[in-house]
Structure 1
Amino acid sequence: MTDIRKQLLAAFEAEHREHLQAIRTALDHMGGGEIDLTDVFRRAHSLKGAARAVDLPSVEEVAHQLEALFSHVLDGQQSLDEPTVATVRQSLDLIEDLVANVLKPEPTQAVSTPAPNPASLASEPRAPTTDAADAGSGSYLRVSAEQMEELSDSMHQLLAELQADAGIDDALRQIELEIRGLRRSWDHLHAQVNALASPTQQSRGGPSFLPRLRDFDQGLKALFRRVSALSRDRRQSSWSVEQAARQVRDNIDRVSLVSAETVFGGFGHMVREIARKAGRDVNVRSIGLDVQVDRQVLQALKDPVMHLLRNAVSHGAEPPDERRAKGKPERAEVTLELASRGGRLAISIRDDGRGPDLRRIERVAVDRGLLQRRDLGHPPPMIDQLLSLVFTPGFSTADEVDRLSGRGIGLSVVAEAVRKLQGSVLLRPRYPHGTEVLLNVPLTAARQPLLLLEAEERMFGLPSHAVERLLRLPANALESVEGRPTARIEIGGQDVVVPVVTLAALTGSPNAPLPSEAGHVKAVLVRHGSRSCALAVNAFHDVRTMLVSDVQAIGLTELVSGTTFLDNELPALVLSPDKLVEHWIRNESRLAAGGLGIAHRAPEEERRARSILVVDDSITTRTLEKSILEAQGYEVLLSVDGIDALHVLRSGEAMVDLVIADVEMPRMDGFSLLQAIKNDPRLSTLPVILMTSRADPEDVRRGLDLGASAYITKQKFDQRELLATIGQVL
């Protein structure tokens, strides 16, 4: 395959996924009456032209059929009813499958090469592990993944050494302060000595030691100046070295990150093939595959995510007759969604199937001795208590082992893989149908922000992402439930009774008392799913980004996700927050069954995702903003100009919480759109953010005077600024 052909196919792979995803998303929003048929038609047309450019006639033909279908719908000659939508979805799947077959990796073949010229080898030495290639527009260096990992580890170790080196700076600063104090004492003493050695005293024959005092005074001043200068230089040098090291670390991390598409991109095709061979009709959606993640993290999650997708099909997808009887579409849906949130990777695998079989889970748990058999009339365990059991090694509710259900090993393999990455996993039912598994892991495998804690003279690290709040609870305000300490804590606007658990009691000292100091208990509020616990500790120390190694600890394997080394070279155990909560749930099953620590969540329909209307005539800008916002959980609607946006808003077919609009657009610009919104009594309270390249102060003032909630210029566009502004407005 020629280089130009490879480049065209690589570009087409990204483009065709964008068009397919956009059309699928439009079809998904049909239920709310919101579908941009013009955009859908344009995308089918663009897909046809792109397929022709890369010489894929089979894809071009299917795209042409889609284009003709959407054209008839736009002209009113055909309606977009359920059979038509089903045909469109099948065509989209067919295009994805055709492209996947074309882009399959070619089998490695032995290549015959002429014997090298000894003279050329002598004059042109070759590196054994790297390979440079000219790609026309620039040069590329291919380096083995192992070398990149070693380089990254070395860089992180260097930063750890620099952090430890900060102790020298503190010591030098202390010496400077001590010399400063010595200098002040000497100045006071010098005045007294001068008084004693006055000319009157010398005339009486007293000893004269003024010359030696002057020499000592000058020497002390010189020493003080040198130490002060050295301290300043040391601080400046340390700061510069640390900044340079951090810059190198960030550059290395950027090289180590790859698109999730590289590992998860083919999952949709694979799962559909498996489902078809099992006689099931499943639509598989993939969202957020453009997120950048450490290659090691993606590889570690490859099998677990595939296992969860198989489970979603095998346990979730009912036969068409059963789905019709429940009022569902005949075609089951499975969604894989990835998003980057706060330096961590959030993965959701969800379906619209049967949902967790709580009775069967309880039966299997009782049979395996994980739960006590309930007496007749006794209430069942809490949902989170039951669902946490499915990650127990060997736990499986499958009646038989088949290609879909895997080998009957259950979800423990998923939990173990996530634990090794210092992450968390959660299974929960969806409303009104289905199941969702949430994985939360770091974007990079090596470094973790940790909260350092002390309990019973032992140091522990707790991933900072799991820390909801640091608490200082009055000891006399603690309450007791069945003899266990609890505290009333405001969580999400609710007054929740949370268990207060001594961390040392969970980590090897079962009889450890509740630590208190000056009449208060220090505790860390952690949360797993809807359950919260307050972990009582002796002291909080620091929050640091540290290297975490996957080292097992005897007796604490379940609770410990890794180890890290402190400044004194002593190891500290890194704890798994979700395992700590699950450990408490198992040990205190009666309290857990009573709902202690649970903040009751609102029904899913009441927790509707915020909807944002993006108005911009540039498809590139619309696509960029849409991907950024959807990765943060927002629902995104698109309009190409102000008139189109007003039609969406005034139709009432979609609930919009915020408008983000460009200023320079055809037909109706952003200022006119803003003015029309604020003059419409039904829309006047709707917040609007103007985001444009027009940075003139007069334009900014005009936008704000017209009622814009914020004005962001594209010259300094930063997605963090956009998201922060949206957070403040909403």
Structure 2
Amino acid sequence: MDIRAMLLAAFEAEHREHLGAIRAALAAARAGAAPDWNDVFRRAHSLKGAARAVDLPAVEDIAHRLETLFDRIVEGAQPLDRAAEAAVTLALDRIEGMVAALAEVPEPALPQDAAAALDRCLSGSPAAAQPSAETAPAQRPAAAPRPAATEVTPAPRPAEAPHPPSAETVPAPRPAEAPRAEPAEAAPAVLRVAGEDVDRLSRAVHDLSLALQSQDEIGGAVAALESGGRALRRTADALRERAGEVSTLSRRLREAGDPGAAALDAALDLLRRLDGEVRAMVRGASGLARTQHRAAGTVEVAVRRLREDADRLLLVPAETVFGGYGRMVREIAREAGLPVEVRLEGLDRPVDRVLLQALKDPVLHLMRNAVSHGAEPPEARRARGKPEALTITLSVSLRGGDLVLSVRDDGRGPDIPRIVETARRQGLIPPEARPSTREALRLVFAPGFSTAERVDRLAGRGVGLSVVAEAVAALRGRARLRRAEPWGAEVIVTVPVSAARRPLLLVEAAGRIYALPGSATARLLRLAPSDLVPVSGLPHARVALDGREVSVPVVPLAALLGGPAALPVEDGRVRAVLVRNGADLCAVAVDRLLDVRPSLVGPPPPIGGDPGLVSGTVLLADESPALVLDPAGLVARSAEAGGRLAALPAPAARSARRRTPTILVVDDSITTRTLEKSILEAEGYRVFVCVDGQDGLDRLRRDGAQVDLVVADVEMPRLDGFGLLRAIKEDPDLTRLPVILMTSRGDPADIRRGLDLGADAYITKQKFDQRELLDTIGQLL
């Protein structure tokens, strides 16, 4: 990172602090309190100097005007009236917007609306035309001239170095200024670390955690060594008891002059030496077992703390994502001519940054929705005793294991009769239904629902709250709308913090990648065939776990998912994952153990997932999806596999075919076509993919001779599945090509239409089973 990038990173954090303090002072003034205007003046002054240091003249210029205005307020020469407050708010928003857009616009232009608004406030005093030397910004000889202000033009002064500040940049002492108390203790040091680096650290710690599970195996081996030593010692004790008899016999032989006495004496010496060595070995084994047990406990505690600390590094203040929402909502309201006050509460809460990113768009939708549906005419607000400006509050809190986001407004509130009427008109409820208030408020999250009278930039498209509902459901959370007290509406979003990211173990089975929750992974196993014994027709292995040996079934993961039943063996070993679900265990055999990574888990896919085994999906590094398997389903399915597993058919040999059949998959959903491609390739087919019907038709007309079968979605842009099917059947070169239609539309009329057009099979995604697809393809080929 170059020096300017480092300075900009520091400025980005510093400017947020200054803007937050100035906005807090404005809010205090609105509430009737007396803000510390001296501190506000210094904030504007510091902001100006910081902007100069990173060479942002537009920010510096606006900060200078703010500084001049606050200087007047401190001196009592100008009040903070409504116009001044609006000008300051606009200026702060423009500064925040310029800094947020530095990646796209590294040299932002002076925002004329903010400059003009501040100049209008400053024009009421003669001093405005000649700001003091303490507050005037430095002139840059090489910079392009700034646009002339509408009424006030700051006087230039000689350029100065940003560090250290010269006497001109320091505001003059003010007699009335009270000394500021020093903080009781220094704030913690803050380091800026790339998110990718933190992810890598967390991933390495979880790798270490899994690798150290081998301590269980070592502990079991040491315990076995100690047990064997004790057995050997018992044998040595029995030999020592017999040694007395041998010693008596040796003495008699010596008295009789028998030369065999010397051999017996030598054997007795060896026996005594062996007894001593066995006792020493047993003491060593016992000591080693105690040391290993203590070391394993210490390492386990250290790794657990390290894992907790690494996971904590993934947390960032909610302000990093939601901090700019106040500016964005005020800008939206300005364009609509609506006065709005935005309050942001609890943004200092540390939250997983991936979870915050997942909630970024839904929260913005909620705030836009609050503006569009909560706004009232000023006279209506005054008649009800409300302030003229609509107040929207975004609050972030952590309650137990949940992240709670609330978007509240003091506007008109939910119109229950209108909601019910709209729901009836859209067919969401029967005409005779009389839903309760709570039931009616749930209707607003339905797709396409909107009570807006017209479509504009703010409302009427019916996507806002349905987007919220879908995003929150994907995070295993919930959203609800309620009336706010005393006025307005509030949407509360509750999402489990654990939904942010979960440690996942990636494995490969039958050519496809799957993910297992790290919390359910008890051990990683490498088993020799001799380690497996049949129990009730199912291979079992004895493994050490929690200081004891347990017998667990070993089942091919591919077999549980409807694939090959044979145990995968590589280099003479079976690689397996010991999966734990409460007190139940099973070992799933896999082809390869790939990786451990914390990832955001999404909902299960529409097709390709067994509801009893699949709990979600995760995107891999190449953006392809992988199924997340449910530990409870794996354990239950493995318990049911006995007696059936050996009867599963072996995969058909493809070598007898003249060539590998080629299948064209046509679907506009990347998730669906990727899953179908994975299923078919795992079965040995060659697969082409196309993104819509027109793309598929073009591919067939170019490479149709290589394609043996088409699997196509029905609902696609440009050319849908019915149109593709019709074009295939009307083309003499393609008419004999088998076509399978796959769609979420299970309407009998649609199925009949597809079959009438010449489809060879019609499979609905709701009832999708990969074996059905593979069996259908096998029959058609």
TM-score normalised by structure 1 residue count: 0.48
Who wins on radius of gyration, i.e. which is larger?
A: 2
Larger RCO, structures 1/2 (Cα 8 Å, 6+ apart)? 1
